[in-house]
Structure 1
């Protein structure tokens, strides 16, 4: 706000930036005919002055909801989209799906598009909600919900996840119950809360029965087939290889399958494997994959319902929601072979 409580106007921003009022208006409307340097300067001033359009305090009813991923090359994303669209379709709201690919330029372009067309709300997937995106959505008064936050989201941003710690523990306990003691873990990206929670659940299960956590049996991964393959390949080349591997995603578990196959190992006779997510491909893999079911479609649906509530000005009682996970036992796990 300007000094004395006066409302900040486009003219105020234009004067501070040393540009014309139409130039500021073009930035606000997402136009591309402004130099990157000028755009960055104006956007910085808009944030600093907490500029809000005159009608920004009124609930937006654009008939559109944005669903924003870092990447879209995963059936995991498809399941979330399915849940979101079930809700938006019933509400007569369109879904705009975008990917920003971890690049600042992509995020900036997406924000420009959003300013140009408006939105009833935004669902960010695997994000910390911090930085310019959060600030700009707040300035535009656009409701935001985060699915699987990377870190600590702001207190005013609802987040939706799953019981990842419990899921990690349950997966590991299942392998322990089959007699496995050398249980490997393929982690997800360390920057994500869900990855760290699955690791902590794995550790808790081992420690609860007096099994020492062996760091040599924990390998980094990236939630992709390639990451699971590389991690399992490193574990299986050791003289004392694991008899079972818990992969923190189904895609990585299928990468473990391939690493085992290339070494002449059979699943589950020589190596038991557990995944996490219960994607459709888990059921159709060979052998069908034992995994921790994460209610992805339900998470997407809840996020969409929360955005719609916020867009109507309704309060959200619980800012952090975790939906229950469930172990699904199929044919990729078996009792450990006698020594």
Structure 2
């Protein structure tokens, strides 16, 4: 157990695992599985044993923690060009450290599933990048207890003060996109945003509202839609927005993928882009330059953000301090999907 090392407590007293097993009502083998991050333990048992280990101040010796030379990047679902660009950035940083990258799917946009959390304890990667996620106190404690550093990329909500994160300046991006459309003469500007509770969605919407308000344009709730950053939600919400009698002259899509869905719906409704409706996206994925017409968008440097997150993991693994929050600037990329409105 523990590579032959006896467990030690923070107080210097060596807790007996037989006592832990007896208090928990499980076998010593089960306690060993919990300590070593084995997956074949129920969530309830794992949590109970972890709590008892914590109560006696048990800490796992650093040298007993064997890690694999790879980092893990966790998506809700890895099924889009957007994810490929993040992966490209993470792989670039990993190559510089002779490290590999593996992909995992959590199955939940907001937080990783228990299956993933148990799995990562067994896989013992050098570190973890979580995309669009939050971690519970329990999950943070489990990763920290195994000395597995983690960075959240574009957090779902406000990360804790102890959590390292990387994101884009979403508020400025939303402001810039809407200001650009206003300068082109648009006043009825719709928005197809991401999930209501997601931090980046809130920031982009707030930037949209700020640009309208500074120009004396009231925010019209009938022009606001919420999707989930996918092509399907862009298609669906665009139909809701554009099939009404009075359509907006321009739409700010919260992601380039949603803009792609909007393009398809516009064609079905016989609306021409940009003649009948201007469209601006967010992300600047590679495919956006090859749409017909090429998509005006707000660029967030996704590959660079993922590279930064990976570099932070390597620094944390080496015991170096990293910034609590790294924010990348966004910028406007003007193409052919927007036009001046008279």
Q: 1:52 aligns with which of 24, 48, 59?
A: 59
2:35 equivalent in structure 1: 28
Name the SS of the counterpart of 1:219 in structure 2: strand
1:153 aligns with 2:159: yes
CA drift of 1:102 comes to 1.4
2:276 equivalent in structure 1: 270
Change in CA separation of 1:74 and 1:13 when aligned onto 2, cut-off 3 Å: farther
In 1: Cα distance, 2:252 partner to 2:110 partner: 34
What's the CA shift string for 1:15-50, capped at 9, x where partnerless?
221112112212334445545654454355456666
Alignment of 1:112-131 (within 5 A): 112-131=118-137
In 2: Cα distance, 1:278 partner to 1:47 partner: 46
Name the SS of the counterpart of 1:291 in structure 2: strand
1:326 aligns with 2:326: no
What's the CA shift string for 1:281-315, capped at 9, x where partnerless?
11111111111111000000000111100110111
Name the SS of the counterpart of 1:23 in structure 2: helix
In 2: Cα distance, 1:206 partner to 1:106 partner: 36
2:25 equivalent in structure 1: 18
1:67 equivalent in structure 2: 73
1:221 equivalent in structure 2: 227
In 2: Cα distance, 1:10 partner to 1:81 partner: 41
What's the CA shift string for 1:100-130, capped at 9, x where partnerless?
1119997333233322232221111111232
Name the SS of the counterpart of 2:59 in structure 1: coil
C-alpha contact 1:65 1:94 (8 A) present in aligned 2: yes
**Gapped regions of structure 1 (runs ≥ 5):** none
1:195 aligns with 2:201: yes
CA drift of 1:184 comes to 0.0
C-alpha contact 1:186 1:218 (8 A) present in aligned 2: yes
Deviates more, 1:122-131 or 1:73-82: 122-131
Deviates more, 1:47-56 or 1:301-310: 47-56
Q: TM-score normalised to the size of structure 2?
A: 0.90
In 2: Cα distance, 1:139 partner to 1:188 partner: 34
Q: TM-score normalised to the size of structure 1?
A: 0.91
2:239 equivalent in structure 1: 233
1:182 equivalent in structure 2: 188
Change in CA separation of 1:36 and 1:164 when aligned onto 2, cut-off 3 Å: closer
CA drift of 1:231 comes to 1.3
Change in CA separation of 1:259 and 1:242 when aligned onto 2, cut-off 3 Å: same
